[in-house]
Amino acid sequence: MAILTTLLILGVLIVFYYIFAKWKQQFWKRNGVPQLKPNILFGDTLLLTSGKTSVKDFYKDIYFNNKAKGQKFVGIYHALLPEIVITDAALCKRIMKQDFEYFTSHGLFHHKTNILTMHLFNLEGEEWKLRRTKLTPMFTSSKMKMMFDAFVIKSEQLFSVVNKCGINEAINAKDFLRRFTTDIIAYTAFGLDLDTLNKPQHEFREIGEESFKPRLLNFALEKIFSRNFLGNIGYQALPSRMVQYYSKVIKETLNYRETSGIERKDFIQLMLQLKHHGKIDDGMNENQKIQHFLSDKEIIAETFLMYLAGFETSSSTMTFALYELAMNQEIQNKLRGEVKEVIAKHGGLTYEAVIEMEYLDRVVKETLRKYPILTVIPRECTRDYKIPNTNAFIRKGTSVQIPCIALQMDPEFYPNPEIFDPERFSNKNKLNDAPWIPFGDGPRQCIGMRFGTLQTKMGIITLIKNFRIFLDKSMNPPLQTCKALILYSFEEDLKLKIEKV
Ligand code: HEM
């Protein structure tokens, strides 16, 4: 009898789930948006969640298949949760720029009970706008120039560590470059001289790297339940060890700077100016009438974000650049020629010299075209939006994906997209409106773009100026994409052979 009852209850539950799921998975149809054929349990993302494909390939396939049907957008489901993928360059641009007011959020979990989540990337609406206004003056070119010495110190350390490795052993490029960017961010944002280049084992790295591990359960919870509900029941998005460690490190630096009166040319100093004066004291904000103060909690969240947003993105970009340079010796030689010539002209490696390196700029742009680290750029619809010239709607609360990688690998905009060709970005080859959005676009465009580009360029200059680089014979290109990570990276380590120039 008990078994029969259990079976009956189970049967009823299954029927209810079936009806509910069918209804949920008609969401896009009800809103006039074409959709794929979702599986009743997994929606359209089984290949992704089971690790059979990478984020990059998943969205690339959707883009090209949908574009081939002449459609500009398509609805998909993560199990029962709807998401729309935009497959038209003009509509992507519109969503990020002209119609930004409908898509002001990245749609990510944040709550005041989770101090490290309350940063610019996650905030939305007015809270985001105000924070962005406060932080923007920290990322101008004059601030990059102010911090340039830090980049030089860390680049010299990078050179000396790679140089010590010698000619005979292959170097693990990604590992060196991650240590390089960790050291730069720790130095400029946390006020710490870590030197992980020489001493790789450090809790700063070990704890931080946990934040890049896939968090499927967290992702599901954060998508299903409201932020307020999760925050109020004590949900913690990040491991408590991470929260405690970074909060403590940042508080200690703030304390030290405030009590000792020591000043340095770094982000912490700029944030302290915002904390105490509500503006940055660089003689450029004299007319700033409204003061925008930054609290200790805000400083902690933003400093943590700089680490998250700054170290992996730039080290991966450098790794991809070196991979291409190793495979394209002509481009590498041309780049080395420019680097040496401009440095000689300026009598050393100065900020101005880096800015003057035009070919280097093209190499970095082409790297970010072929290998945008955030292969899809997320938005959340924050106000019901009728897609122009259609009867389709994107409803408030739904996720939107801008498939950056697919746009940048689309032969319509970039002929022979697999070929690494920095000349695409030369003045004579003007790219008429071809989408180039590795830093996003519109008001939410990456605030650290200058910083990220500068550290990427400094790493490349340091290595290319001093070494000729080749792929180690253990490498078998094309290298595969890592399926487990959201950010674009290779599955295997990039091993390079180096020769002193
Ligand atoms: C090559 C390096 C980098 C790449 C490729 C990159 C890429 C991106 C992308 C694609 C976005 C989302 C933009 C959008 O939604 O439209 C973003 C946002 C952001 N990035 Fe970067 N980034 C890099 C370096 C950095 C660095 C070094 C920092 C800080 C020191 C940083 C801080 C941020 C912040 C704070 C946001 C959020 C901006 C907002 O929502 O208002 N990024 N980045």
Summarised one tens digit per residue, pLDDT across range 12-46 is 999 999 999 999 999 999 999 999 999 999 999 99
Q: Is the pLDDT at 167 greater than 80, yes or no?
A: no
pLDDT of 82 reads 97
- The region, left, alpha or beta by phi > 0 then psi within -120 to 50, assigned to residue 108 is beta
Summarised one tens digit per residue, pLDDT across range 280-334 is 877 776 667 788 899 999 999 999 999 999 999 999 999 999 999 999 999 999 9
Answer positive or negative: Cα dihedral of 421, 425, 428, 434: positive
Q: Is the pLDDT at 66 greater than 80, yes or no?
A: yes
pLDDT band at 430 (very low <50, low <70, confident <90, very high): low
Q: Whose CA is nearest to atom 16 of ligand 1?
A: 440
Taking residues 68-81, what's their average pLDDT? 97
C-alpha to C-alpha distance for 472 and 479, rounded to whole angstroms: 13
Which H, E and C letters describe 190-202, residue by residue?
CCCCCCCCCCCCC
Return phi, psi of residue 386, to 5°: -90, 120
CA 276 to ligand 1 center in whole angstroms: 26
Q: Is the pLDDT at 77 greater than 70, yes or no?
A: yes
Overall number of domains in the chain: 1
pLDDT of 289 reads 72
pLDDT of 209 reads 82
C-alpha to C-alpha distance for 271 and 280, rounded to whole angstroms: 8
217: Cβ contacts below 8 Å, ≥ 6 apart = none
413: Cβ contacts below 8 Å, ≥ 6 apart = 89, 407, 431, 434, 435
254 near 268, Cβ under 8 Å?
A: yes
The rounded mean pLDDT for the chain is: 94
Q: Is the pLDDT at 87 greater than 70, yes or no?
A: yes
Please report, rounded to a whole number, the percentage of residues in the chain having pLDDT higher than 90.
Answer: 88
CA 21 to ligand 1 center in whole angstroms: 36
pLDDT of 58 reads 97
Ligand 1 pocket by C-beta < 6 Å: which residues? Answer: 96, 120-121, 132, 305-306, 309-310, 313-314, 317, 373-374, 377, 438-441, 444-448, 451-452, 456
C-alpha to C-alpha distance for 373 and 56, rounded to whole angstroms: 10
Taking residues 105-134, what's their average pLDDT? 96
CA 444 to ligand 1 center in whole angstroms: 9
219: Cβ contacts below 8 Å, ≥ 6 apart = none
Taking residues 116-135, what's their average pLDDT? 96
Ligand 1 atom at minimal distance to the Cα of residue 374: 10
461: Cβ contacts below 8 Å, ≥ 6 apart = 155, 339, 349, 354, 357, 360
Q: Whose CA is nearest to atom 11 of ligand 1?
A: 446
pLDDT of 169 reads 82
C-alpha to C-alpha distance for 38 and 58, rounded to whole angstroms: 15
pLDDT of 212 reads 78
Taking residues 476-480, what's their average pLDDT? 94
Of 100, 181, 360, 439, the residue with max ligand 1 atoms within 8 A of its CB, to mutate for a pocket test, comes to 439
pLDDT of 484 reads 83
pLDDT of 374 reads 97
Summarised one tens digit per residue, pLDDT across range 489-500 is 999 999 999 999
Taking residues 226-253, what's their average pLDDT? 95
pLDDT band at 433 (very low <50, low <70, confident <90, very high): confident
pLDDT of 223 reads 87
* Range of lowest pLDDT (163-172, 221-230, 314-323): 163-172
pLDDT of 286 reads 67
Which residues make up each annotated binding site for heme? 446
CA 186 to ligand 1 center in whole angstroms: 17
- The region, left, alpha or beta by phi > 0 then psi within -120 to 50, assigned to residue 495 is beta
Range of the domain at 115: 2-500
Summarised one tens digit per residue, pLDDT across range 148-166 is 999 999 999 999 999 988 6
CA 6 to ligand 1 center in whole angstroms: 52
Ligand 1 atom at minimal distance to the Cα of residue 317: 1
Please report, rounded to a whole number, the percentage of residues in the chain having pLDDT higher than 70.
Answer: 98
pLDDT band at 431 (very low <50, low <70, confident <90, very high): low
pLDDT band at 219 (very low <50, low <70, confident <90, very high): confident
DSSP secondary structure letter of residue 43: B
For residue 231, what is the enclosing H or E element?
helix 227-232
Q: What is the CATH number of the domain that holds 44?
A: 1.10.630.10
C-alpha to C-alpha distance for 256 and 277, rounded to whole angstroms: 18
Summarised one tens digit per residue, pLDDT across range 376-401 is 999 999 999 999 999 999 999 999 99
Q: Whose CA is nearest to atom 42 of ligand 1?
A: 448
For tokens 């749609």, the residue is 107
